[in-house]
Amino acid sequence: MRRTFRMLAPMMAITLGCAVFLHGPASASTSAGAARGNASEEPASEEVSIVHVTTTDPLGSLQATSRITFDNGTPVDGWTTIALYPNGSYNFSGHLHASGATSHNVRVVWVVSPLDGTPAFSFTKEGRVHGTFDSGSRDFDFNVSEINPALSAAWPELSEGWKWSRRASTGLSFAHIVDAAKDALKIAGSIIPLM
């Protein structure tokens, strides 16, 4: 996982103007499972958190794209994108692919907020990717566009600078993943779920 971040960091810094990359072990259970050599018994989790301090792009939006890979050998990878707009509209999209024999339930979470952490918003999506031994698609694709007035109300703060944490898991609950993202961004208050 760290090699992936080193390769992506320069590209993201140029395209997104990122100031700080924060990343670490995906979770204690995942790291411990990998150390014991039985990572397949542990839920796979992958994360990246970024503090983004530039203002909106010329189109008046905030956008970020993040690659998804798992550090314990889980044969699932993909990408996800979030785009926020001044009128409160957003687009949350992604693609995950299973390349191994087993199937996996997958969860993707973004938590975004202004730099001071208030208000914070979460975007969540769950699906399934099928492996060689199961019928069904190896791919899980999603593309959701909606409008939320709370996002529009927060736009003055978001447009001055924002931070986000993107998490993915094949076994952890949404509550666990959202809480981990909230902790990574040092958000003390509640989170407004947009999806």
Q: What is the pLDDT of residues 115-131, one digit of tens each?
A: 888 999 999 999 999 99
Quickly state the pLDDT bin for 83 (edges 50, 70, 90).
very high
Neighbours of 31 (CB within 10 A): 17
CA angle 10, 6, 129 (to 5 degrees): 105
Q: What would the two tokens of residue 174 be?
A: 């949404």
Identify the pLDDT of residue 70: 83
Residue 25: pLDDT over 50: no
pTM above 0.75, yes or no: no
Quickly state the pLDDT bin for 2 (edges 50, 70, 90).
very low
Percent of the chain scored above 70 by pLDDT?
70
Backbone angles phi, psi at 62, to 5 degrees: -115, 125
Q: How would you label 78-102 residue by residue, b for 16+ Cβ within 10 Å and e otherwise? A: bebbbbbbbebebbbbbebbbeeeb
CA distances from 12 to 63, 65, 90, 185 (A): 11, 8, 20, 18
At position 186, the amino acid (one-letter code) is K
Cα–chain center distance at 5:
14
Domain interval for residue 31: 2-193
Quickly state the pLDDT bin for 152 (edges 50, 70, 90).
very high
Alpha carbon distance, N-terminus to C-terminus of the chain:
27
| Domain count along the chain | 1
